[in-house]
Amino acid sequence: MLDQQRDYVLRTVEERGVRLVRLWFTDVLGNLKSFAISPAELENALEDGMTFDGSAIDGFSRVQEADVLAMPDANTFEVLPWGDSKSVEARVFCDIHNLDGTPFEGDPRQVLRRNLGAARDQGYAFYVAPDIEFFYFAPPEKGQAPVPLDEGGFFDLTTTDVSGTLRKETIRTLETMSIPVEYSFHEDAPSQHEIDLRHTDALTMADSVMTFRLVVKEVAAKHGVHATFMPKPLEGVQGSGMHMHFSLFKGDDNAFYSEDDPYNLSPIAKQFMAGLLHHAAELTAITNQTVNSYKRLVPGFEAPVHISWARNNRSGLIRVPVAKRGNPSATRIEYRSTDPACNPYLAMSVILAAGLRGIAEGYELPPEADANLFEMDDSSLTKLGIDTLPQSLSDSLKVMERSTLVQEALGEHIFEWFLRNKRNEWRSYKTHVSQFEFDRYLRAL
């Protein structure tokens, strides 16, 4: 099988006249990294991997050994649909190994592989479908606030034409890259869009999210537009989330489905949800990893604030969407706090780990919170036992650093590096004096 895959890739490179093969991987913060090799080196790369100096890459550097090995995953080999037809380029996702062949601890893709392996040992396959939101802006000037396309003046065409064209072209490109789209629409905020992807296994989906972010930006840039996944780019309107739909399959059966439950949720689904709720605060630094992420997680903009679940309640952290009747495989849960600036490999890893912990320990699912939690005061929420998500990156990091669950899910290397890196981010944010403060204090005090 592996030999055939390799032959397939090598033959395709030859037949399609591929001139450059881009080896893709992801750093700890979720940035797509790439280096290119010539087709002549590809056979060797597929066989033995390509050695490179990882010390320049965030979270990859270690004191003693800086060299790591990129092993292309032949099944992710894909001809890139952009660029000129005379010099065709292709990409392949890589797993990063140490020189001795063991998985490299700083590689998020390997972290997800390890967590999926743990699920597989219990007989589970983890399926994910994200709804990804983003904004289109005029190319940003340094230090300036973003300018939505809808504000006019930027384009001769009406804005709906421009963003409609962009979205259509984006979807076409995604579909030629094995990323089927389920829905797409203009979101509530000006210049905001949402594209929902069809479910796949988690590893493929994490790869797809990386490709997705690049495709959205590439297509926009081609039209002189800047696309951003910044969680809250505009004050006063809703931010960009990445709601994720999850299910666990055991063979061909959806382990989340039960005929007997009013919501068709199996005991496994309820324990998984209980695990997620129980550990939600601990994994928030991973699902919402920027200072800006927490400006989205505020009341009034359809983002979750409270650690709760409901069938249909937009203020809750977990929603249980109504599956189409007669389709057990569509039974799933939707986790709503994640934003599109996260590292998808790490986010799926910690979410899966929390859910599996819930199953392993048989956690009890708290009662559904179907009231509008935003309208309740703190004491009534406390009475219901409903907590809030961490309110800032700093709060999130404090909860995360005490979490053995997150530490185990990420592995020591990434856990330590992430905390160190993000504490630095928080420290530099803390020293920043903002417009808010000038407006509020400069004259008054």
Partner 1 sequence: MSTPVADLLAVYPESPPVDLARTLDLAGYRWKAVSSASEASSHEPASGWAGAVVACDVDAEGAWAFCSALRRRELAVEPLLVLISGAQLADLELRHDLFDDFCITPCHPVEIETRLRHLFARGGGAVRPDLVQYNGLVLNLETYQATIAGTPLDLTYMEYELLKFLAQNPGKVFTREILLSRVWGYEYYGGARTVDVHVRRLRAKLGEEHANVIETVRSVGYRFGQSRWSA
Query: Measured from the CB atom, is 9 or 132 closer to partner 1?
Result: 9
Near partner 1 by CB under 8 A: residue from 20, 37, 66, 81: 81
Among 11, 222, 420, 427, the residue binding partner 1 under the rule CB under 8 A is 11
- Give me the least distance between CB of 85 and partner 1, in Å please: 10
Residue in 113, 287, 130, 124 with CA at minimum distance from that of residue 199: 130
Binding of residue 98 to partner 1 (CB under 8 A): no
22 binds partner 1, rule: CB under 8 A: no
Binder among 3, 141, 235, 252 for partner 1 (CB under 8 A):
252
Stretch that binds partner 1, among 77-85, 214-222, 271-279, 433-441 (CB under 8 A): 77-85
| Binding string, residues 165-184; x marks residues near partner 1 by CB under 8 A | ----------xx-xxxx---
Q: Is 61 in the site for partner 1 (CB under 8 A)?
A: no
User: Between 318 and 337, how does the x/- string for binding to partner 1 read (CB under 8 A)?
Assistant: -----------x--------
31 or 204: whose CB is closer to partner 1? 204
To partner 1, the closest distance from the beta carbon of 24 in angstroms equals: 14
Q: Which of 98, 204, 292, 392 binds partner 1 (CB under 8 A)?
A: 204
Tell whether residue 78 is a contact of partner 1 (CB under 8 A): yes
Q: Total number of residues binding partner 1 (CB under 8 A)?
A: 36
Please give the Cα distance from 204 to 173 (Å, whole number). Answer: 17
**Toward partner 1, which CB reaches closer, 176 or 421?**
176
Residues 137, 230: Cα–Cα separation, whole Å: 11
Q: Does residue 3 bind partner 1 (CB under 8 A)? A: no
Smaller CB separation from partner 1, 31 or 75: 75
**Closest CB to partner 1 among residues 179, 346:** 179
187 close to 193: Cβ distance less than 8 angstroms: yes
Residues 394 to 413 in contact with partner 1, rule: CB under 8 A: none
Which one of 1-9, 223-231, 350-358, 420-428 is the stretch in contact with partner 1 (CB under 8 A)?
1-9
Token look-up 């039974």 returns 331
Output the smallest distance, CB 75 to partner 1, in A.
Answer: 6
Q: At what angle do helices 159-176 and 202-222 cross, to 10 degrees?
A: 140
- The verdict on 112 binding partner 1 (CB under 8 A) reads no
**Using the rule CB under 8 A, which residue among 8, 35, 185, 263 binds partner 1?**
8
> If binding is defined by CB under 8 A, does position 76 make contact with partner 1?
yes
Binding mask 282-321 for partner 1 (x = CB under 8 A): ----------------------------------------
Residue 121 in the binding site for partner 1 (CB under 8 A): no
For residues 306 and 316, is the Cβ–Cβ distance under 8 A?
yes
Among the listed residues 61, 75, 238, 392, the single contact to partner 1 using CB under 8 A: 75
Q: Which residues bind partner 1 (CB under 8 A)?
A: 1, 4-5, 7-9, 11-12, 15-16, 74-79, 81, 120, 125, 127, 175-176, 178-181, 198-201, 204, 249-252, 329
